[in-house]
């Protein structure tokens, strides 16, 4: 049976200042010297938490700030004029949100909280100052953009080459790894997003996701109860991801 005390990732509340923050090891400020940290402290804001459904920013908004997720869960997506949406990612605590606007100074995505979410805010007006502060920070920003690029590229591989089963398996393993990084159970977690969101993210129909979940459960790879997932056979899941599927 799947435990039910899981929304835990939403209730982890790092303290307000970097040097005491429980996320510091995966945060942008990781490895920065204490002087710089002190100056960061004067720059970084801590706005009131976003509630589920609140937008951090919308498409077209001028870049106001970059956000580091402290707790909660952020969904980022693009939508076309015609109303189609494509979810680009789900952001967990420790991750930086808003980089999409660095190029044009205007956001090209929507970012919405799926859960009560606390964030640290790096005001855009202070960004160049932050970058001047230390080469370390510059490198960190580059690293984070690089990581984001890398993630999106993985997604391209997923959407371009993998079957429905491969995509869902990859998604679950990815979530698992990220929960683990954050000190949460690796093989038993709560998905904050709806099946609809998962389907959209993976380029599938809702029904297909549902069916794959069911099939995985039948085959003993998972135990699924609503949004609670327990991974029972990560080895086979990994095989499904790498397993060549369709085309090419």
Partner DNA sequence: CGCTTCCTTGAGTGCTTTCAACGAGCGTGG
Partner DNA sequence: CCACGCTCGTTGAAAGCACTCAAGGAAGCG
Binding DNA by CB under 7 A: which of 85, 129, 154, 207?
Answer: 207
Q: Is 43 in the site for its own copies (CB under 8 A)?
A: no
Q: Is 156 in the site for DNA (CB under 7 A)?
A: no
Q: Residues 67, 69, 75, 81: what is their CA dihedral angle, to the nearest 10 degrees?
A: 0
CA–CA separation, 240 vs 232, rounded Å? 14
Q: Is 144 in the site for its own copies (CB under 8 A)?
A: yes
Q: Is 78 in the site for its own copies (CB under 8 A)?
A: yes
Q: Is 210 in the site for its own copies (CB under 8 A)?
A: no
For 98-133, letters b (16+ CB in 10 Å) and e give bbbbeeeeebebbbbbbbbbbbbbbebebbeebeeb
Q: Is 157 in the site for DNA (CB under 7 A)?
A: no
144 binds, among its own copies, DNA, none (CB under 5 to 8 A by kind): its own copies
38 binds, among DNA, its own copies, none (CB under 5 to 8 A by kind): none
How many angstroms separate the first and last alpha carbons of the chain? 40
Binding DNA by CB under 7 A: which of 3, 106, 149, 226?
Answer: 226
Q: Is 214 in the site for DNA (CB under 7 A)?
A: yes
155 binds, among DNA, its own copies, none (CB under 5 to 8 A by kind): its own copies
CA–CA separation, 197 vs 87, rounded Å? 7
Distances 63 to 58, 85, 126, 129, 214 between C-alpha atoms, Å: 10, 21, 12, 16, 42
Nearer to its own copies, 159 or 224 (CB): 159
Residues lying near DNA in the complex (CB under 7 A) are found at 163-165, 194-196, 203-211, 213-214, 224, 226-227, 245-248
């Amino acid at each position: 049976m799947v435990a039910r005390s899981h929304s835990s990732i939403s209730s982890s509340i790092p303290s307000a200042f970097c040097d005491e923050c429980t996320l510091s090891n995966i945060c942008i400020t990781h490895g920065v010297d204490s002087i710089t940290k002190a100056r960061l402290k004067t720059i970084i804001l801590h706005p009131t938490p976003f509630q589920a459904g609140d937008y951090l920013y919308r498409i077209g908004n001028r870049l106001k700030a970059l956000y580091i997720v402290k707790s909660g869960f952020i969904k980022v997506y693009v939508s076309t004029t015609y109303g189609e949406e494509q979810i680009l990612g789900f952001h967990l605590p420790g991750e930086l949100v808003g980089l999409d606007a660095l190029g044009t100074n205007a956001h090209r995505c929507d970012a919405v909280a799926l859960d009560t979410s606390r964030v640290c805010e790096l005001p855009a007006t202070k960004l160049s100052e932050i970058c001047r502060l230390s080469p370390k920070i510059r490198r960190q920003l580059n690293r984070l953009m690089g990581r984001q690029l890398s993630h999106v590229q993985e997604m391209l591989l997923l959407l371009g080459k993998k079957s429905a089963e491969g995509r869902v398996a990859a998604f679950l393993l990815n979530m698992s790894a990220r929960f683990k990084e954050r000190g949460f159970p690796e093989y038993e977690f709560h998905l904050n997003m709806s099946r609809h969101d998962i389907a959209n993210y993976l380029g599938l129909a809702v029904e297909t996701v549902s069916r794959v979940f069911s099939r995985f459960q039948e085959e003993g790879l998972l135990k699924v109860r609503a949004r609670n997932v327990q991974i029972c056979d990560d080895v086979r899941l990994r095989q499904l991801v790498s397993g060549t599927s369709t085309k090419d």
